[in-house]
Structure 1
Amino acid sequence: MNHLMKIVVLGSALLLGATAASAATASEEAPRQREAAALTGTAKLYRSAGDDITFSFDAHLAAKDNADPTRATGTFEFSHYLDGEGARAKAKVDCLVTGGKVAVVSGVITDSDLPGAEGKRVGITVHDVGRRDRLGYSWASTGNPVETKELPKCVGSAPFEKVRKGTGDFTVVPWRPDF
């Protein structure tokens, strides 16, 4: 066998061996399970007065916690400014329930420049409808999170607010509980 032929045969043998080893490793790994539920993304709300209102979510319920939405993890943030006045807050997720393209997430505010907001639970509802997402929040009837009395976990309001055109990119992973 000439030298070139030996190189081709050796190269082919090495390639086949690597492919077989890779396939064996892949078949030994357990199939990746999708998370039980999720809410991610950022959008600005539309207000005719020009308010700058932003909501961002990174909330997840692991597959192993499918039976208990209060085991959700992550954070969400929101801010509301008009003419340089306003506030922002960050919350630690304590519950996430989703159904179809709707998600309700709640959490306790861990950081805020709104006096009295830290330690308050807030809830937000998102309807993921592409670039025309909608959103509602638990303090809609009280004016701000500080005025909300003891809110239970996973409570939000109907998604009555519209996101500003071109900013809606919320993604909801639907929950499939085992009942």
Structure 2
Amino acid sequence: ASGGDGGHGTGVVREAAALTGTAKLYRPAGDDITFSFDAHLAAKDNKDPESATGTFRFSHYKGGRGGYAVAKVDCLVTGGKVAVVTGVVTETDVDGFRGKRVGVSVHDLGRHDRLGYSWMTRGQTSELPPCQSMPPFEKVKAGTGDFDVLPWQIEYPTE
């Protein structure tokens, strides 16, 4: 199909990139760590990943203690089944996250998704730039991975 419909023959222009879904991280000690994404890059913004919109949420609870954060997306880049999303935390009950940019990476592997996050190392002293995170080093808990990465289709000049 042609005409800018993303090759699906529907006449509808697909968005440039997306990351959606929810999963819990694998933790044999019983921690409840959940990540949820609703991040999108509109077709009209294909050349500007920093125009991405949406939110993502993460939480970590164990033994009645823990916290959560919600971030407003400020960048989304996908390549194949891998996505990196960043956002500024707009809602949280953890002082260390309030107003900070955080980054998360996802590898969409069906029910065996992987995930990484920028705050993995202690003492991060510099401001995290948009579109940056750690590689997806964590495994999701069996049966919970339902991330869906829509690959970014970069438009290259032909001449």
Aligned to 1:174: 151
Whose strand fraction is larger, Structure 1's or Structure 2's?
2
- 1:34 has 2:14 as partner: yes
| TM score, norm. by length of structure 2 | 0.89
Unaligned segments of structure 1, at least 5 residues: 1-29
Q: RMSD value over aligned CA atoms?
A: 1.3
Q: CA deviation at 1:142?
A: 2.0
Whose helix fraction is larger, Structure 1's or Structure 2's?
1
Letter in 1 for 2:101: R
Unaligned segments of structure 2, at least 5 residues: 1-9
The correspondence of residues 55-134 of structure 1 with structure 2, limited to 5 A, is: 55-134=35-114
- 1:49 has 2:26 as partner: no
Aligned to 2:6: none
- Contact in 2 for aligned 1:139/1:148 (Cα 8 Å): no
Give the aligned length: 147
- 1:150 has 2:132 as partner: no
Specify the structure having the higher radius of gyration (Cα).
1
Runs (4 or more) in structure 1 with deviation over 4 Å come to none
Deviations 1:84-139 (A, max 9, x none): 11110000000000000000000000000001422100000000000000000000
Aligned-residue sequence identity (percent) comes to: 69
Q: CA deviation at 1:148?
A: 5.4
Aligned to 1:26: none
State the distance in 1 between where 2:125 and 2:136 align. Answer: 18
| TM score, norm. by length of structure 1 | 0.79
- In structure 2, relative to structure 1, the CA distance for the partners of 1:59 and 1:43 (3 Å cut) is same
- In structure 2, relative to structure 1, the CA distance for the partners of 1:169 and 1:150 (3 Å cut) is same
